[in-house]
Amino acid sequence: MSHASAQPPPDLRLPADGTPHTDGADDSPWRRRFEAIYKSLRRRIILLEYPPGMRLDVAALAEEFDVSRTPIRSVVQRLEGEGLAVTRHGVGTAVTEIDFDQVQDAMRFRMHLAELIGRLNPRPARVAVLDQLEKLRRVCEALDDDFTPQDFARIDMRLHDFKCNLIGNEHLRKTYDEMYYRAMRAWFYYLPRMDWPTEIRALGEDIQMTITALRGDDVEAVGFLTRNAISGGLYRLNALKASGPQEDSDEVG
């Protein structure tokens, strides 16, 4: 497997910065900066650029993002609340280890939340969004033996962002988004040991069925399709864990 990472085409973007809709939240420059730093650090953790156990140096991050330490501490506190970082007295803040039991719990919870996507004030998909999903499907189909887990993860996260933009209920959207990131870090961690063709096919089918449902203006179907996709992923992940001794324990990193 090659280490070269094929980036998705630059036109595969969601409205604004490609992240879930915010429903009129504070749009001040400070808030936009905070959100940008938060999403950048969260992405690094999810893509395992910051592996489990890695220390988060507040001073170094403040220098990198050209801000004071205060917003970095606020971002870290948010990551802690989402289970992605932990602060220990005398040690500092580090990326959390991956706890398989917690991953299972998050995925099961996501299954139930997904069923509500089309029920709680759903938003219709615009034609432009459907066109972007078609492009994303083609990017997924183009994956081959040279792709990396990061390539796969970027496509999966983009699909997740599209689905989040269908959720009109702010509380559901925030909770669903948090549970996704709690679970998917472990998924991307285990991905290199899983059957690549099966995972590519499953992701491609998820995208295609989402497109079909949205072309029929059936957001509720998207919720149930997503629920089934999560269930299938959990089944395959459990099968991998049960297949024999692994290099890691239930806490890995």
- Tens digit of each residue's pLDDT (9 = 90 or more) over 70-107: 999 999 999 999 889 998 887 789 999 988 888 889 89
Domain ranges of the chain: 99-252
Which pLDDT tens digit goes with each residue over 150-181?
Answer: 888 889 999 999 999 999 999 999 999 999 99
Class of CATH domain 99-252 = mainly alpha
C-beta contacts of 26-34 below 8 A and 24+ residues apart:
30/71, 33/67, 33/71, 34/71, 34/74, 34/75
Give the span between the Cα atoms of 26 and 222, in whole angstroms.
29
